């Protein structure tokens, strides 16, 4: 860090002041109380805030607001930091603050600013410390604090220096390691408790796994059994189906039997009927033949019916003519008798000869007699003709009858023949039918056996079904067991897995314990001791170098002991610091401070060797000693050394002088050469 510029406003004895810092050795020179140390306070306030300083100490009396702006450079990069204080009812408090870098102003709270500044300075320390420990020991150690370090009890000093050298980190690391160790041990104890039942669980897992295998093989056996039983059951079912079909078919046949028997009866009836019919027909044939024989005996009549009809017709005509003749004659006779009786002709009125008329009548009577004879003859012939006609009718009747009989005879014979054929056919059919019935009867008879067989098969089926059911229920219950067991097993496995991981964790932690206990902590101890020893050694060298530089001709010998306490010897005897003169004391303090500053800077790797601030380093020095400061200052390898002093003699040792004066109540800074 290089300080470039400082602006003060109402800071302690200052009203308003601006200082540009060059590189090299800078001296702020002025009387006691002129306002030199205030500049250093302002720098520290700008960087770290109030810290151990109070607002009242920094704010100018009677003012309401105070501010400081510091411009500094780190690795070529410029930063501006601004802080302010304001008086309030309760007291003085920090107000607005900002840091400017990368062309931007970052407004931050006081804590955020401290954190950022530590970051920028690359100081690896806690934000919680009031100021910066590294700043206080590596850059600027106020005079009072320096004296305090020297006055401290050796243990307290060692403690403080350990902090300054970062040795404290080893102790903290050790303590942390012990804390971690305790934590790890308690974690191990906890894990031991957690895995206490691991062996038991493993055993349980093995048992359950065996049981699981057993159940699996049991299930497999049962599955095989189930398969063979169901196969057998299927076979039985098929057999039953086959038998049922057979039984059904035969049952159908059984139903057919009465129908067939009815058919037999019908056929028998047909035969009987036909035989009966034939008997009747045969009898009829016999009587027909007899009748035919009788009928054939009747002689044949030679005249034909037409001839006979003609003759009869002629006979009737003759008869009618004869009757007509007779009636005509009778009429004539009658007329003659009338005339005879009256004696005159009515027509002509002449008298009638009775003889004549008697003769005439006799003659007519003779004629009548002859015609009557003729009539008798015709009548006789009529009688014969009528008889012949009757005979002819009779004959024709018989002929017709014979014809009928013959026809009938023929028909009967044919009928008998057809009946016989029918009988023979029916008998044949009957035979077939009976044979068929017989066969079917046998089948039906066998069906009873079939029924019994089906019953038996059904019983067998029921047994197998029951058996199958039992097996299935066994399997399902076993599967249930299996599932539960698998769940339990998986739960156990999860537990074992968890516990195994815990066991591994425990074993790892045990390794850590060994490592921390036996390697890490002893290593820390050793490192701490060695580091401290090395620092002590170097510290001693620097301390002696600067002390002897300032006290060239003195017979006083100094060194530091292992607790960094300065030991002063004269003539081989150890003497107390209080017995030293003022100048000797200041030399010892300055040598000690430089050794401390340089060592802290060396230990804190983040610090670059570029700034050192010294406040009144020559307080109590003799003129001679003051001149020795030139060598000391030249010996310090630093790009910027800020020295505050009231000694004018230092002027010739530095590159730049600022004169600090208080005029009235206000401090002013005047640039010197």
Interacting residue ranges for ligand ADP, rule: CB under 6 A: 12-13, 30, 32-38, 59-61
Closer to Mg ion at the Cβ: 37 or 160?
37
Report, in Å, the least distance between residue 175 CB and ligand ADP.
40
Partner whose binding site includes residue 32, from ligand ADP, Mg ion, none (CB under 5 to 8 Å by kind):
ligand ADP
Report, in Å, the least distance between residue 17 CB and ligand ADP.
12
Measured CA to CA, the distance from residue 199 to residue 201 in angstroms comes to 5
Report, in Å, the least distance between residue 30 CB and ligand ADP.
6
Find tokens 């003779």 and name the residue: 366
Report, in Å, the least distance between residue 100 CB and ligand ADP.
27
Contact, 2 vs 72, CB < 8 A?
Answer: yes
Report, in Å, the least distance between residue 34 CB and ligand ADP.
4
Report, in Å, the least distance between residue 13 CB and ligand ADP.
3
Find tokens 């000869």 and name the residue: 353
Binding to Mg ion by residue 640, rule CB under 5 A?
no
Partner whose binding site includes residue 499, from ligand ADP, Mg ion, none (CB under 5 to 8 Å by kind):
none
Report, in Å, the least distance between residue 667 CB and ligand ADP.
6
Partner whose binding site includes residue 33, from Mg ion, ligand ADP, none (CB under 5 to 8 Å by kind):
ligand ADP
Closer to Mg ion at the Cβ: 37 or 536?
37
Closer to ligand ADP at the Cβ: 12 or 585?
12
Partner whose binding site includes residue 354, from ligand ADP, Mg ion, none (CB under 5 to 8 Å by kind):
none
Binding to Mg ion by residue 587, rule CB under 5 A?
no
Report, in Å, the least distance between residue 601 CB and Mg ion.
23
The candidate with the shortest Cα–Cα distance to 587, out of 614, 627, 637, 621, is: 621
Partner whose binding site includes residue 38, from Mg ion, ligand ADP, none (CB under 5 to 8 Å by kind):
ligand ADP
Report, in Å, the least distance between residue 87 CB and ligand ADP.
11
The candidate with the shortest Cα–Cα distance to 594, out of 564, 633, 624, is: 633
Report, in Å, the least distance between residue 37 CB and Mg ion.
3
Measured CA to CA, the distance from residue 580 to residue 590 in angstroms comes to 14
Residue 405 tokens, joined: 């009989």
Report, in Å, the least distance between residue 62 CB and ligand ADP.
8
Closer to ligand ADP at the Cβ: 32 or 351?
32
Closer to Mg ion at the Cβ: 37 or 540?
37
Phi, psi of 268 (to 5 degrees): -60, -45
Binding to Mg ion by residue 94, rule CB under 5 A?
no
What distances in angstroms separate CA 359 from CA 333, 337, 346, 364, 432, one per listed residue? Answer: 11, 11, 20, 8, 107
Closer to ligand ADP at the Cβ: 548 or 659?
659
Measured CA to CA, the distance from residue 599 to residue 165 in angstroms comes to 8
Measured CA to CA, the distance from residue 436 to residue 452 in angstroms comes to 25
Which of these segments, 30-38, 112-120, 583-591, 654-662, binds Mg ion (CB under 5 A)? Answer: 30-38
Measured CA to CA, the distance from residue 14 to residue 38 in angstroms comes to 8
Measured CA to CA, the distance from residue 648 to residue 477 in angstroms comes to 110
**How many residues does this entry show for the chain?**
673
Long-range contacts of 468-473 (CB under 8 A, 24+ apart): 468/226, 468/229, 468/230, 468/233, 471/222, 471/225, 471/226, 471/229, 472/226
At residue 49, the 3 state secondary structure works out as coil
Partner whose binding site includes residue 618, from Mg ion, ligand ADP, none (CB under 5 to 8 Å by kind):
none
The candidate with the shortest Cα–Cα distance to 198, out of 529, 506, 551, 521, is: 506
If one counts every other C-beta atom within 10 angstroms of the C-beta of residue 537, the result is: 10
For 218: left if phi > 0, alpha if psi spans -120 to 50, otherwise beta; the answer is: alpha
Task: Give rounded-to-5 percent helix, strand, coil for the chain.
Answer: 70, 15, 15
Which of 10, 34, 37, 419 touches Mg ion by CB under 5 A?
Answer: 37
Partner whose binding site includes residue 663, from ligand ADP, Mg ion, none (CB under 5 to 8 Å by kind):
none
Partner whose binding site includes residue 12, from Mg ion, ligand ADP, none (CB under 5 to 8 Å by kind):
ligand ADP
Chain residue at closest Cβ approach to Mg ion: 37
Which of these segments, 36-44, 268-276, 472-480, 633-641, binds Mg ion (CB under 5 A)? Answer: 36-44
Closer to ligand ADP at the Cβ: 395 or 659?
659
Closer to Mg ion at the Cβ: 34 or 278?
34
Partner whose binding site includes residue 60, from Mg ion, ligand ADP, none (CB under 5 to 8 Å by kind):
ligand ADP
Which of these segments, 37-45, 121-129, 261-269, 618-626, binds Mg ion (CB under 5 A)? Answer: 37-45
Measured CA to CA, the distance from residue 97 to residue 105 in angstroms comes to 10
Phi, psi of 52 (to 5 degrees): -85, -5
Q: State the Rg of the chain over Cα.
A: 86
Partner whose binding site includes residue 274, from ligand ADP, Mg ion, none (CB under 5 to 8 Å by kind):
none
Report, in Å, the least distance between residue 129 CB and ligand ADP.
24
Closer to Mg ion at the Cβ: 118 or 613?
613
Report, in Å, the least distance between residue 577 CB and ligand ADP.
25
Closer to ligand ADP at the Cβ: 33 or 354?
33
Closer to ligand ADP at the Cβ: 35 or 566?
35
DSSP code for 353: P
Contact, 99 vs 113, CB < 8 A?
Answer: yes
Closer to ligand ADP at the Cβ: 13 or 540?
13
Residue partners of 346: CB distance under 8 A and separation at least 6: none
Closer to Mg ion at the Cβ: 97 or 617?
617
At residue 302, the 3 state secondary structure works out as coil
Characterize 89-99 residue by residue with b for buried, 16 or more Cβ atoms within 10 angstroms of its Cβ, and e for exposed: eeebebeebbb
Interface residues toward Mg ion, by CB under 5 A: 37
């Amino acid at each position: 860090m290089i300080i470039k510029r400082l602006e003060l406003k109402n800071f302690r004895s200052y009203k308003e002041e601006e200082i540009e810092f060059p590189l090299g050795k800078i001296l702020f020179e002025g009387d006691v109380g002129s306002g030199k140390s205030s500049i250093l306070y302002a720098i520290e306030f700008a960087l770290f805030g109030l810290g151990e300083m109070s607002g009242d100490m920094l704010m100018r009396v009677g003012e309401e607001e105070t501010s400081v702006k510091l411009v500094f450079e780190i690795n070529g990069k410029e930063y501006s930091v601004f802080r302010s204080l304001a008086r309030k009812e309760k007291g003085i408090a920090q107000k607005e603050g900002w840091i400017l870098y990368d062309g931007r102003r970052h407004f931050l709270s006081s804590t955020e600013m401290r954190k950022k500044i530590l970051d920028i300075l690359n100081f690896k320390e806690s934000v919680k410390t009031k100021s910066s420990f590294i700043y206080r020991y590596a850059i600027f150690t106020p005079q009072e604090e320096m004296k305090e370090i020297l006055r401290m009890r050796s243990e307290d000093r060692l403690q403080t220096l350990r902090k300054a050298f970062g040795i404290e980190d080893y102790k903290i690391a050790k303590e942390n390691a012990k804390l971690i160790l305790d934590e790890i041990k308690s974690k191990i104890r906890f894990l031991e408790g957690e895995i206490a039942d691991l062996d038991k669980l493993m055993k349980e897992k093995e048992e359950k796994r065996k049981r699981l295998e057993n159940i699996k093989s049991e299930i497999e056996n049962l599955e095989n059994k189930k398969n063979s039983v169901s196969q057998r059951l299927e076979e039985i079912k098929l057999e039953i189906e086959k038998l049922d079909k057979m039984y059904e078919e035969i049952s159908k046949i059984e139903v057919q039997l009465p129908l067939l028997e009815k058919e037999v009866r019908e056929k028998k009836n047909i035969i009987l009927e036909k035989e009966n019919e034939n008997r009747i027909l045969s009898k009829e044939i016999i009587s027909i033949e007899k009748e035919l024989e009788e009928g054939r005996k009747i002689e044949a009549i030679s005249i034909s019916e037409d001839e006979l009809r003609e003759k009869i017709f002629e006979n009737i005509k003759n008869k009618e003519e004869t009757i007509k003749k007779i009636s005509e004659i009778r009429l004539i006779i009658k007329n003659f008798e009338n005339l005879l009786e009256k004696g005159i002709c009515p027509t002509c009125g002449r008298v009638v000869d009775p003889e004549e008329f008697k003769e005439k009548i006799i003659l007519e009577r003779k004629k009548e007699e002859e015609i009557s004879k003729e009539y008798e003859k015709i009548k006789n012939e009529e009688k014969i003709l009528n008889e012949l006609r009757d005979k002819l009718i009779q004959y024709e009747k018989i002929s017709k009858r014979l014809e009928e009989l013959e026809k009938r005879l023929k028909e009967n014979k044919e009928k008998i023949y057809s009946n016989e054929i029918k009988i023979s056919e029916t008998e044949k059919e009957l035979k077939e039918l009976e044979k068929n019935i017989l066969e079917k009867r046998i089948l039906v008879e066998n069906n009873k056996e079939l029924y019994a067989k089906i019953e038996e098969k059904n019983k067998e089926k029921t047994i197998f079904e029951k058996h199958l059911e039992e097996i299935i229920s066994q399997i399902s219950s076993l599967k249930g067991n299996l599932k539960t067991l698998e769940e339990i097993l998986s739960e156990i496995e999860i537990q074992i897995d968890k516990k195994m991981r815990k066991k591994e964790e425990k074993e790892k932690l045990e390794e850590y314990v060994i490592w921390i206990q036996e390697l890490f902590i002893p290593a820390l101890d050793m490192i701490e001791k060695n580091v401290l020893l090395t620092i002590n050694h170097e510290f001693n060298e620097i301390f002696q170098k600067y002390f002897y530089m300032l006290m060239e001709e003195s017979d006083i010998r100094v060194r530091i002991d292992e607790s960094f306490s300065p030991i002063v010897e004269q003539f081989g005897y150890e003497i107390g610091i209080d017995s030293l003169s003022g100048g000797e004391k200041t030399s010892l303090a300055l040598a000690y401070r430089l050794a401390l500053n340089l060592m802290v800077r060396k230990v804190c790797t983040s610090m670059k060797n570029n700034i050192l601030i010294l406040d009144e380093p020559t307080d109590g020095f003799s003129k001679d000693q003051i001149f020795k400061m030139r060598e000391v200052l030249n010996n310090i390898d630093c790009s910027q050394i800020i020295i505050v002093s009231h000694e004018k003699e230092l002027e010739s040792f530095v590159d730049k002088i600022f004169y600090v004066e208080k005029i009235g109540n206000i401090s002013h800074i005047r640039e010197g050469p």
